[in-house]
Structure 1
Amino acid sequence: MTGGLYRSAHAADGDPPPGDGATLISIDDEPVPGAGAAQDQALPPQDPPAPSEPGGSDEGSGTTGQSAIMAIGTMVSRLIGFVRNMLIGMTLGAGIGDAYTSAYFLPSQLYELLLGGILSSVLIPLLVRRRQVEPDRGQAYTQKLLTFAVVSLGVATALVVLAAPVITLIQSGNAPGDYRDLVTALAYLMLPIIFFTGLSGLIAAVLNVRGHFAAPMWAPILNNLVVIATCGIFIVTFGTAKGLDPADMTPGRIALIGGGTLLGMITQAAGLLPALRRVGFRWKWWWDPRGLGLGEIGRLAGWMLCYVTANQIAVFVVVNLLSRVSGKTGASVLAFNNVYLLTMMAHGIIGVSVMTALLPKMSAAAAEGRFADVSADLSRGIRLTAAALAPIAVVYGVLGTPIAVFLFQGGAYLPRTAYATGDVLAVAAFAVMPLSISYLCTYAFYSLKGNKTVALINLPVVGLRIAAYLVFFVVLPQSLAAAGMTFGNALSYVLSALISLAVLRRRIGRLDLGSMVAGLAKVLAAALAAALVGWLIVGLLPGGDTPDRTEAFVRLAVGGAAIMITYLVAATMLRVREVGQVVGTVRRKLGR
């Protein structure tokens, strides 16, 4: 139920592979009232590769080894992806970078509508089921599915590319003409990404079903490296786009940056092909749509399509509105996306880790009718997530400008754009915890097989999000438009969490809301103390509201340390036991 851009809405909702988020936080330190012995039993990996299959077992691929490889891959991928975004901003700057970002979102949005929304929720379970029950372990069905999907994606991608001017008109129709023309020119080069994203996702699904997670985790690094190299070639060849308007982008500049981005996704898809052979899968062309059970796929995909469509409408709205202020004072699409990336990074490291640990337990408990255990796990997960994310939210709120200056300023990313990005990041502090809590509730519904409920809850949530976008765009100055959109996201996350908790209470019974609220109140009190100390200390440091990079680094080092220490001390005094649990987990891992 996200409102962000860098990752399409459903991309964050799919069940993450074990180890996503790098460090799994232990959630077993607190006993569950009334829980049986089964509560600590996690579900085994789905359908691990059979030893008899050629290449079906990766060398040294135990669960621990796979988790370690994926954890390292996740962190390296996130780091390199962040460097990629930094370089795009420094290379292209705000105005042209906004147009690039708008064009880059189009294939992601349309891919979600065509395939992404049903891949993890429908196609992967079908592949798992066929692999378990069919004599050939699903080889024929997988070949038929890949053949049909490749043909369908190819046709859809061709039609979308032909319709590029119409699509960009919908997304940024009220933007200046030169800006819209640049988005359209870039879209012609980037929309084919849809096909290769789909191909990459399908290959990753085949690998995951066969117990191979490492290649899909590492392949995006190839993509990021290609785009980073493209930025380097752009700077060497043309210099940065500092001082250029969209009308100044020559065909050569457009071809390089747009073509390099497409080449990155092609490289990612190609990088997965060797892994298919390693797990023993041979891709043969097999055209047999009737043998796929398309009716079953359609029925299962209906509610997920509803969910994804609502989210993508919201993305179209926010890009359209922010495109109108591109190149003017303040933050626009590029800055909004950079901030969303930071928000999702915090969620990925903390929230996804908790979800990864909780989902198997909640699913097992739900399957056995132990709803009290589902409720206890959800309550514990919310308290733990809030306790771990609170200091990060404070850092974003108090140190938004130093973070933006240190990470993004340089080249064509001018200081005024970095300062505006910092303002947006300060507002995003209010979205960090609600985002992860709303996701935890969504995963609780997944454990109860409540995809329909998730889709229905998402409708008023997206409705509020779009309404907030429109209201804030009208009432706020253009310089604060991106900050207003970010606050609209935060409001929608809060609504999502509240509705989800109310529905879950009706479905699984008592949620122990008293304990949850009491725990959250202590966390907020500790966070407020940390924010006050951090604000006072940062106010004494040089730089004011417009620090340079050195001053920003000093503020980050000193202010960040003060915030973290104050939060830990305050949380300990308030007896926030979840903080001790997180610290204990980190200490145990460091001890190893």
Structure 2
Amino acid sequence: MAIATLASRVAGFVRILVLAAALGLGTRLLDTYNIANTLPNQVYELIVGGTMASIVVPLLTRATLSEPDGGVLYAQRLLSLIIYVLSAVTLLAVAGAPLLIDLYAPGFTAEQRDLATVFSRYFLPQILFYGISATAAAILQIRGRFGTPAWAPLANSLIVIAVGLTYAAVGGSTSTTLETGHLLLLSLGTTAGVLAQMALIVAALRRTGFPLRLRLDPRGIGIRRIGRLGAWVLLAVVTSQILFAAATRAASWGGPGGITAYQNANMIFYVPYAVFAVSIMTAMLPRLSQHAARGEHNRVVTGLSRAVRTALVVTAPIATAFLLLGPQIATVLFAHGNSSTATVRVLGLVLAAFGLTLVPFTSYMILQRGLYALQETRTAALITVAVAAVGVTGCAAAGSLLEPEDIVLGIPVAYAAAYTTGLSLTAVVLRRRLGYIDGRRLLRTHARVLTAAVAGAVCAGLALWAARSATDLSAWTDALVTGLIATLAGAAGYLAAGRLLRLAELRHLLNAALPGIRTW
């Protein structure tokens, strides 16, 4: 799963780079495209996305254990309900597209607003495609099939990459005044990627022998129960969307390129989380749900502790790399084509600030899965409200206290404070609910990983200083060379310190990644 997710994320990176080069990093066109293309994801998450991760998988797991047909009829009815609901939501979202644009980007010019509205009406049908994909993927997970849902986004990215390259090849403009052909290429091509992703997952589900059939009457899946649980999940998702909207609104006041700098840095920030933490959580949630359903709380604690510790030894050095090498990463990835040098610089600083957020965010998201497995959706929702309150306050403070060009730098700092709050609250609640959360081992592992990360940072910092003193290259080449040297030195320092500190989790990961080779 991690390999498949990594391949998909690498392709996603290439997609970002191609679009930045073709549409122009720092231009109003790319800001407009990004906001419009974000709307389907946000509307989907608001209506179904949170429910899918926190309620549907546990309910499907229970139906598999309790229903005589292994939960097939239950899954068919659930899939039918998702299609009916999201079809109606899609129509409403298309009709209300201008209102959505005003909500997320009040700083847009009138021309940007008009173009974003047109883009969004082509993009918003993706809501339905995402819903079908996620439901089919959840059914596959319950059946022990994790590969295709992890690989499918690769097809999406490859199609959008082809669209971006074609747009550049035909001489597409970087202004917000687009010819009809160029507009259709970007709009239809982007949505075609999501459609292909859905088609692959549905085809994989069909190959398992699952009968794909719409049920006209979706009753019998416990809609009232889903509603009771989902009401709290909806509150959690709404507050998360408020936080995202607050961040996007703040970035829109930062001038041209502000939204793109924030969103692209955020996408890079999500890569290690998606590759490692999401892979761990996706495989973990069905098992946690089974343990919780059987009252085996010791196994729930063991699974959560192992997941947090495993993710920590990977994300901590990556967070350190973001802090030290954010500008170099941004330059290597985005200083191409029509990209603005100023926007690339800001993006690098935002990415560095996101290094403060990666570890608390990842641990918080993993522990939240423990609450979902226990079906403590009310508690999870209230914690999310607290997280959003801290984050929105931080974004508002950044918007009011900082200079326009610095507003976007305050957003990841606000995120770091918010998710640290959420992590602390979730740990306290789980300890009370389960009796213990393996706290001593978690604290011991955190202390050792922090020590190893500091050792790696010192090695990387010294290498960065030495490389900068010894090189006289162009900006892009200098960023590539110094970044690689610092990365290698930092990795060596981290691994050496981890061995001296006997980090068992790091040893297990290395042995799993390099089977048959003695790595420790």
The TM-score, its normalising length taken from structure 1, stands at 0.79
Q: 1:170 to 1:549 in 2, by over 3 A?
A: same
The answer to whether the 8 Å contact 2:22/2:164 transfers is yes
**1:376 Cα deviation after fit:** 5.4
Residue in structure 1 matched with residue 253 of structure 2 by the alignment: 324
Bigger mean CA offset, 349-358 vs 500-509: 349-358
Q: Partners of 1:237 and 1:549 in 2: how far apart?
A: 27
Residue in structure 1 matched with residue 490 of structure 2 by the alignment: 563
Q: Partners of 2:45 and 2:507 in 1: how far apart?
A: 39
The answer to whether the 8 Å contact 1:401/1:422 transfers is yes
Residue in structure 1 matched with residue 97 of structure 2 by the alignment: 164
What amino acid does structure 2 have at the position aligned with 1:469?
C
Bigger mean CA offset, 90-99 vs 383-392: 383-392
Q: Kindly indicate whether residue 275 of structure 2 is the aligned counterpart of residue 275 of structure 1.
A: no
Q: Kindly indicate whether residue 380 of structure 2 is the aligned counterpart of residue 454 of structure 1.
A: yes
Q: Partners of 2:396 and 2:433 in 1: how far apart?
A: 34
Gaps of 5+ in 2: none
**1:440 Cα deviation after fit:** 2.6
Q: 1:430 to 1:589 in 2, by over 3 A?
A: farther
Q: Partners of 1:474 and 1:397 in 2: how far apart?
A: 25
Q: Partners of 1:370 and 1:192 in 2: how far apart?
A: 42
Q: Per the alignment, in what secondary structure is the counterpart of residue 588 of structure 1?
A: coil
Q: Partners of 2:302 and 2:139 in 1: how far apart?
A: 34
Bigger mean CA offset, 136-145 vs 270-279: 136-145
Residue in structure 1 matched with residue 215 of structure 2 by the alignment: 286
**1:296 Cα deviation after fit:** 2.8
Bigger mean CA offset, 213-222 vs 158-167: 213-222
Q: 1:421 to 1:585 in 2, by over 3 A?
A: same
The answer to whether the 8 Å contact 1:358/1:377 transfers is yes
Q: Per the alignment, in what secondary structure is the counterpart of residue 286 of structure 1?
A: coil
Residues 29-63 of structure 1: per-residue CA shift (max 9 Å, x gap)? xxxxxxxxxxxxxxxxxxxxxxxxxxxxxxxxxxx
Which of 81, 84, 90 is residue 151 of structure 1 equivalent to? 84
Residue in structure 2 matched with residue 530 of structure 1 by the alignment: 456
Q: Partners of 1:287 and 1:520 in 2: how far apart?
A: 51
Residue in structure 2 matched with residue 551 of structure 1 by the alignment: 478
Residues 427-481 of structure 1: per-residue CA shift (max 9 Å, x gap)? 1111111111112321232343322221111111111011111111222222222
Q: Partners of 1:340 and 1:290 in 2: how far apart?
A: 40
Q: Kindly indicate whether residue 232 of structure 2 is the aligned counterpart of residue 303 of structure 1.
A: yes
**1:413 Cα deviation after fit:** 2.0
Q: 1:397 to 1:123 in 2, by over 3 A?
A: closer
Which of 177, 180, 186 is residue 119 of structure 2 equivalent to? 186
Q: Partners of 2:87 and 2:53 in 1: how far apart?
A: 20
What amino acid does structure 2 have at the position aligned with 1:554?
V
Residue in structure 2 matched with residue 491 of structure 1 by the alignment: 417
**1:100 Cα deviation after fit:** 1.1
Which of 12, 21, 35 is residue 81 of structure 1 equivalent to? 12
The answer to whether the 8 Å contact 1:402/1:547 transfers is no
Bigger mean CA offset, 382-391 vs 488-497: 382-391
Q: Kindly indicate whether residue 344 of structure 2 is the aligned counterpart of residue 445 of structure 1.
A: no
**1:360 Cα deviation after fit:** 6.5
The answer to whether the 8 Å contact 1:401/1:545 transfers is no
Q: Partners of 1:298 and 1:457 in 2: how far apart?
A: 19
What amino acid does structure 2 have at the position aligned with 1:201?
A
Q: Per the alignment, in what secondary structure is the counterpart of residue 399 of structure 1?
A: helix
The answer to whether the 8 Å contact 2:325/2:352 transfers is yes
- What are the equivalent positions in structure 2 for 1:197-346 lying under 5 Å apart? 197-239=130-172, 241=174, 244=175, 246=176, 248-327=177-256, 332-346=258-272
Q: 1:584 to 1:217 in 2, by over 3 A?
A: closer
What amino acid does structure 2 have at the position aligned with 1:303?
W
Q: Partners of 1:320 and 1:396 in 2: how far apart?
A: 24
- What are the equivalent positions in structure 2 for 1:334-413 lying under 5 Å apart? 334-355=260-281, 371=297, 374-375=300-301, 378-413=304-339
- What are the equivalent positions in structure 2 for 1:78-157 lying under 5 Å apart? 78-93=9-24, 94-95=26-27, 96-130=29-63, 133-134=66-67, 137-157=70-90
The answer to whether the 8 Å contact 1:405/1:547 transfers is no
Q: Partners of 2:10 and 2:40 in 1: how far apart?
A: 23
Residue in structure 1 matched with residue 401 of structure 2 by the alignment: 475
Of Structure 1 and Structure 2, the greater helix share is in 2
The answer to whether the 8 Å contact 1:240/1:411 transfers is no
Bigger mean CA offset, 142-151 vs 77-86: 142-151
Q: 1:210 to 1:107 in 2, by over 3 A?
A: same
Q: Partners of 2:403 and 2:472 in 1: how far apart?
A: 19
Q: Per the alignment, in what secondary structure is the counterpart of residue 215 of structure 2?
A: coil
Q: Partners of 1:135 and 1:526 in 2: how far apart?
A: 51
Q: Partners of 2:343 and 2:246 in 1: how far apart?
A: 22
Q: Partners of 2:78 and 2:346 in 1: how far apart?
A: 47
What amino acid does structure 2 have at the position aligned with 1:90?
A
Q: Partners of 1:542 and 1:337 in 2: how far apart?
A: 29
**1:149 Cα deviation after fit:** 3.1
